Amino acid sequence: MSDLTPVFLDTAYVFALINTRDEWHAKARELGHTLHATSRPLVTSEFVLAEIADGLSAIRFRASQAIGYFSHETGAQWGSALLSACLVLLF
């Protein structure tokens, strides 16, 4: 039986995942693959979503970072997971 304990999605993890120059990028990708393989649900807060939106609105993260990352297969999966985390908060 697998562990379905939710994992809290934090801003630092999201930014490390999409920013290839972040010192924690490799570790974030490794963790992302592990979480995906175990199908653990992601949860977050409205505050974290606001932080992510604010950070992605900064010039350095526009199209070149976030959109480029989420266009890859793994990124698309995490984009979907992030959307699911948002929906958990709404409902």
pLDDT, residue 88, reads 47
Residue 39 and residue 23: Cα distance in Å, rounded?
26
**pLDDT (tens digit, 9 = 90+) per residue, 46-67?**
899 888 888 877 655 554 555 4
Question: The pTM is what?
Answer: 0.61
In DSSP notation, 43-56 reads E--HHHHHHHHHHH
Give the closest residue to 47 by CA, choosing from 35, 55, 38, 57.
55
Look up residue 48 and give its two tokens.
Answer: 């974290």
**pLDDT (tens digit, 9 = 90+) per residue, 74-87?**
444 555 555 555 54
CB atoms within 10 A of CB 58: 9
